[in-house]
Amino acid sequence: MVGSGKVGCGLVRSGEARQGKARFSFKGGKLKNFLTNIEQLMMDEFVKRGLRKGIDFSSQYPIRRSFILDFAFPEEKIAIECDGEAWHSDPKAKKRDGFKNYILKKEGWTVLRFWGSQIEQDIKGCVDRILEARI
Among 9-13, 16-20, 77-81, 95-99, which range has the highest average pLDDT? Answer: 77-81
Cα dihedral across residues 103, 105, 108, 109: positive or negative: positive
* Predicted local distance difference test score (pLDDT) of residue 66: 78
Which residues are within 8 A (CB) of 46 and not within 5 positions of it... i.e. 6 or more apart?
A: 53, 56, 57, 71, 127
In angstroms, the CA 47 to CA 88 distance is 26
* Predicted local distance difference test score (pLDDT) of residue 96: 87
Chain segment 27-57, per-residue pLDDT in tens: 444 444 678 999 999 999 999 999 999 999 9
- Residue 64 near residue 100, CB atoms below 8 Å: no
* Predicted local distance difference test score (pLDDT) of residue 126: 97
Q: Average pLDDT, stretch 50-69?
A: 91
User: Is the model more confident about 82 or about 11?
Assistant: 82
* Predicted local distance difference test score (pLDDT) of residue 89: 67
Report residue 9's pLDDT band, with 50, 70 and 90 as the boundaries: very low
Among 3.50.50.60, 3.40.50.880, 3.40.960.10, 3.40.50.300, name the CATH number for the domain at 35-133.
3.40.960.10
Is 70 a residue whose pLDDT tops 70? yes
94, containing H or E segment: helix 91-106
- Residue 45 near residue 131, CB atoms below 8 Å: no
Q: What is the residue extent of each domain of the chain?
A: 35-133
Q: Residue 128, Cβ neighbours under 10 Å: how many?
A: 13
